[in-house]
Amino acid sequence: GEQVEQRPPHLSVREGDSAVITCTYTDPNSYYFFWYKQEPGASLQLLMKVFSSTEINEGQGFTVLLNKKDKRLSLNLTAAHPGDSAAYFCAVSGSGTNTGKLTFGDGTVLTVKP
Amino acid sequence: GALVYQYPRRTICKSGTSMRMECQAVGFQATSVAWYRQSPQKTFELIALSTVNSAIKYEQNFTQEKFPISHPNLSFSSMTVLNAYLEDRGLYLCGAREGQDTQYFGPGTRLLVL
């Protein structure tokens, strides 16, 4: 089945610096890709969804890049601030009979220091 | 907008007892509901994927006998953890899928087992 590897597991940056989190996946038929943010004690907040036809998506303060050739998905927080401190998870949605099933990366705990 | 509610938010049960958790999609019709467990180490496991009018598909290591799921309509699903033990503790997340892509997550039910 699908396997998703997320790096790094922990990331500490200074306020204003950029932070990059990367996921690689194995199933070339994967079609939908998601980034979620989880603050301590809270559930998953959807940051961005990316589809196979989209390579770059820009959100508020972050950019998501999808490279289907390399089966790589990345989240770039362009100017991190302390409120960005949280755990971030990528998730890959299966296709065909696996539609609706998300495979998550193991998460990245981001700490943004003032 | 699309919202997913889960109840209870937190529960404590004695080892060997059972507990039931509920998931309600509001503002949209969920084409499928997936139940996940997030371990204390923060990794996610898919328990089962439930699509209305289709058989519920359990992932490896999870069975209907241990985690029976009811999904009677497009907005409600419940799951019971039978004979809960220490290894069952974690945050149980319900992900309700709208259409073909986005899965919205509820706040989760945190299960503690004594």
Q: What is the pLDDT of residues B18-37, one digit of tens each?
A: 999 999 999 988 889 999 99
The distance of B48 to chain A (nearest Cα, Å) reads 9
Predicted pLDDT of residue A54: 55
Interface of B with A in 42-101 (CB under 8 A): 42-44, 46, 49, 51, 91, 93, 95, 97, 100-101
Share of chain B above pLDDT 90, in %: 69
A87 to chain B: which residues are within 8 Å by CB?
Answer: 42
| Separation CA B67–CA A10 (nearest Å) | 33
Average pLDDT across each block of 10 residues of chain A; the chain has 114 residues. List them in order. 94 96 92 90 86 67 88 93 95 78 94 95
Tokens of residue B42, six digits: 């923060």
A100 to chain B: which residues are within 8 Å by CB?
Answer: 31-32, 34, 49, 51, 97, 103
3-state DSSP call for residue B59?
Answer: coil
In sequence order, the 6+-apart residues with CB closer than 8 A to the CB of A102 are A34, A91, A92, A93, A94, B34, B36, B44, B46, B95, B103
Predicted pLDDT of residue A1: 80
**Amino acid code (one letter) for B4:** V
| Residue for token pair 């992900």 | B95
Predicted pLDDT of residue B23: 96
Mean confidence (pLDDT) of chain B = 91
**Residue B42 pLDDT level (bands cut at 50, 70, 90):** confident
In sequence order, the 6+-apart residues with CB closer than 8 A to the CB of A65 are A55, A56, A72, A73, A74, A76
| Separation CA B102–CA B100 (nearest Å) | 7
